[in-house]
Amino acid sequence: MYIWNIFLVGISGIVNMVMWKLEVNGDEITWRSTFGKKRTFRFGDITYCERKKGSVRVYVNGEKLFTIDSNIDKEEFMEDIERRRIPVKSYWTNQHKKNRK
pLDDT of residue 24: 85
Give the CATH number of the domain where residue 76 resides: 2.30.29
Per-residue pLDDT tens for 65-82? 888 887 777 788 888 889
Per-residue pLDDT tens for 14-50? 544 545 678 888 889 888 877 778 889 899 999 999 9
Amino acid, res. 4: W
Distances (CA, A) of 62 to 11, 46, 58, 59: 32, 8, 9, 5
pLDDT of residue 72: 73
- Report yes or no on 12 lying in a domain: no
* Number of domains into which the chain is organized: 1
- Report yes or no on 13 lying in a domain: no
pLDDT surpasses 70 at 9: no
Domain containing 85 equals 21-100
Strand order in the sheet with 21-25: 21-25, 28-32, 38-42
